[in-house]
Amino acid sequence: MRHPHGGRHELGQNFLHHRPTVDAVVALVGATDGPVLEIGAGDGALTRPLAALGRDVLAVEVDPRRADRLRARAPGATVLCADALRVPFDRPVVVGNIPFHLTTPLLRRLLHDGRWRHAVLLTQWEVARKRAGVGGRTLLTAQTDPWFEVALHGRVPAAAFRPRPSVDGGLLTVARRERPLVDPAERAGYQRFVGAVFTGAGRGLDQVLARAAGVPARTARRALADAGVPARALPRDLRPGQWTALWRTVHPATARTVRPRPRRSGA
């Protein structure tokens, strides 16, 4: 089904037509360096001003007809008709108005690809809030914090898109840390550890940590105190530095004992 001023619903497209948001996205990209990969280019609301930055822009659009039109409208960019879930994120900067129904798989893929440095993304508002840790961290956020800095740059009204979605959008940036808080070689173990704590059972975080890491309760209590974690804190309350402090204290035992429970959907 097509809408006269928007995308195709079967492709999950909601195109941006809000100039202040376009300007904000372009300004954030302008603060970065290197070639740009734009995903979900649509009608080129972002493509044309991005190309005007004088950068090498590769714009990816899944709809063949829109891709053809975009080639004529944005001659300063290279337009590729392809599925963004299959295109390598191999440029330093990734930017895009992400189709809302693809937000989770695209973000997961982005966070597991090691070649980009900065991302500027329009996502669903609630997803943007969660990924930025507003109101508490999610499992995915806590598992990736040591390698990425995520910031929320504002709420985008649903009226900024055509066709109008049922929820607002959020402007999010993700930057790869130049100095990771945890050695990348320990990433798998760290993520198992965080998963075990998030899904673990116990009357308090000290019990959960002790069971998840396979350490005595007194060791868990000392690790929490040393990391500055309040006694009644929940896993979602911990900041990145607190998670990494706990990992440094308990990870030798963790590598042998962590057995995370199956992750609940929507974490």
Chain Cα centroid distance, residue 57: 21
Residue type, 23: D
Query: Does 11 appear as a known binding residue?
Result: no
Q: What is the DSSP letter of 265?
A: T
Query: Does 224 appear as a known binding residue?
Result: no
Query: Does 234 appear as a known binding residue?
Result: no
Chain Cα centroid distance, residue 214: 31
Contact between 194 and 140 under an 8 Å Cβ cutoff? The reply is: no
Helix (H, G, I), strand (E, B) or coil at 143: helix
| Closest CA relative to residue 260, chosen from 190, 184, 183 | 190
Query: Does 183 appear as a known binding residue?
Result: no
Cβ count within 10 A of residue 64:
9
Query: Does 106 appear as a known binding residue?
Result: no
Query: Does 97 appear as a known binding residue?
Result: yes
The residue assigned the tokens 């690790």 is: 223
| Element spanning 96, H or E | strand 93-97
Binding annotation for S-adenosyl-L-methionine: 14, 16, 40, 61, 83, 97
Q: Which residues contribute to the annotated binding site?
A: 14, 16, 40, 61, 83, 97
